[in-house]
Amino acid sequence: MSSAPRRGLGRGFEVLIGGVEPELARLPTAEIHPNPRQPRKQFDGEAATGLAESIKAQGLIQPVVVRPRLEGGYELIAGERRWRAAREAGIATLPAVVREADDRDTLLLGLVENVAREDLSPVEEARAYAMLIDEFGLSLGEVAERVGRSKPAVSNRIRLLELPEEVLALVGRSELTEGHARAVLAVPDHDGRRRLARRIVREGMSVRAAERAARSAGARTKERRASSVDPVLAARIKDAVRLLTGFEAKVGVAGVHLPVDDEVQLEELAEALERLAGP
């Protein structure tokens, strides 16, 4: 089953090159340097080796995007995985688009590429969002608009950073999923969060079991009427609908509601559902 493309990210490469017809240059691979603000911190060595073999055989098809450095050479804006693979393959020069960008735009453009490719772990994505807000003064709404996400989706990712580093490391290594992490986050203290995270990994808990364990460990819960929807369950449904359709759902006792602004969005929703239904 193929999921619908993320809304707002379809422009991809056009966003990275500034919406103009790019002028390609061939730059010495040795003169290109990694971006210290690259949101992605972990690179799969096996996948990089596979990409290096492909580049040896076919060359690099999609150019990297770089900016000039004051100290000489170029700094990557997008394409670090391709650059690393080209170095491993011994490629002397790379096709590149050179553009002007400040530190904020460099981080933002790298984030857009990684989110579009789904290359970032939830923690890497959360830290990049937080840096845009804390260091560069973007609002939550501005970040959401630039990366094609909803404000709640960005806010929920940033909330992961409230977890202790030990738990964040488990998420970064994919030993805990984001769903597990949200369950752990409901526990009120760091010691309890660490204990629950270790238990989830040790016992191989499902997200639902982790949520039950979090409630037993004193998870913060809002008092609610008997007729209201479990907020943890509602969040899971919203996440699933967003992943499958790209739309934000409203979940209540009456059911699941998918609001649309106009007929264009209604058609987008119809196409997403048709893709899910398959042939």
Q: Could you read off the pLDDT of 82-110 as tens digits, one per residue?
A: 888 888 888 888 888 888 888 877 777 77
179: Cβ contacts below 8 Å, ≥ 6 apart: 207, 210, 236, 239
- Of residues 82, 98, 86, the one with CA closest to residue 40: 82
Tokens (6 digits) for 205: 């808990």
pLDDT at 11: 40
97: Cβ contacts below 8 Å, ≥ 6 apart: 16, 17, 22, 23, 24, 25, 63, 64, 65, 66
273: Cβ contacts below 8 Å, ≥ 6 apart: 245
Q: Tally DSSP H helices, then E strands, for the chain.
A: 13, 7
pLDDT at 44: 46
Confidence class of residue 54 from pLDDT cuts 50, 70 and 90?
A: low
pLDDT at 163: 92
- Of residues 195, 203, 153, 199, the one with CA closest to residue 178: 153
Confidence class of residue 116 from pLDDT cuts 50, 70 and 90?
A: low
pLDDT at 9: 31
Confidence class of residue 196 from pLDDT cuts 50, 70 and 90?
A: very high
Burial of 45 (0-12, 13-18, 19+ CB in 10 A): exposed
Burial of 26 (0-12, 13-18, 19+ CB in 10 A): exposed
pLDDT at 5: 35
Amino acid of residue 7: R
Torsion of CA 119, 60, 34, 93, to 10 degrees: 180
Q: Could you read off the pLDDT of 249-271 as tens digits, one per residue?
A: 888 777 788 777 777 777 777 77
Model pTM?
0.52
Structural contact between residues 84 and 48, judged by C-beta atoms closer than 8 angstroms: yes
Q: What kind and span of H or E run contains 251? A: strand 250-252
Tokens (6 digits) for 208: 């639902």
SS3 35: coil
Q: Which of 80, 113, 178, 211 does the annotation list as catalytic? A: 80
Confidence class of residue 111 from pLDDT cuts 50, 70 and 90?
A: confident
Per the annotation, the verdict on 80 as an active-site residue is yes
Architecture of the domain made up of 13-154: Alpha-Beta Complex (3.90)
Confidence class of residue 209 from pLDDT cuts 50, 70 and 90?
A: very high
The answer, yes or no, to whether residue 197 has pLDDT greater than 90, is yes
Domain range annotation of the chain: 13-154, 163-216, 231-277
The answer, yes or no, to whether residue 227 has pLDDT greater than 80, is no
pLDDT at 238: 84
What count of Cα atoms within 13 Å lies in the side-chain half-sphere of residue 31? Answer: 19
Confidence class of residue 193 from pLDDT cuts 50, 70 and 90?
A: very high
Mean pLDDT of 182-207: 92
CA 65 to chain centre: 19
The answer, yes or no, to whether residue 22 has pLDDT greater than 70, is no
Cα separation, 241 vs 131, whole angstroms: 28
Cα separation, 90 vs 74, whole angstroms: 18
> pLDDT higher for 243 or 119?
243
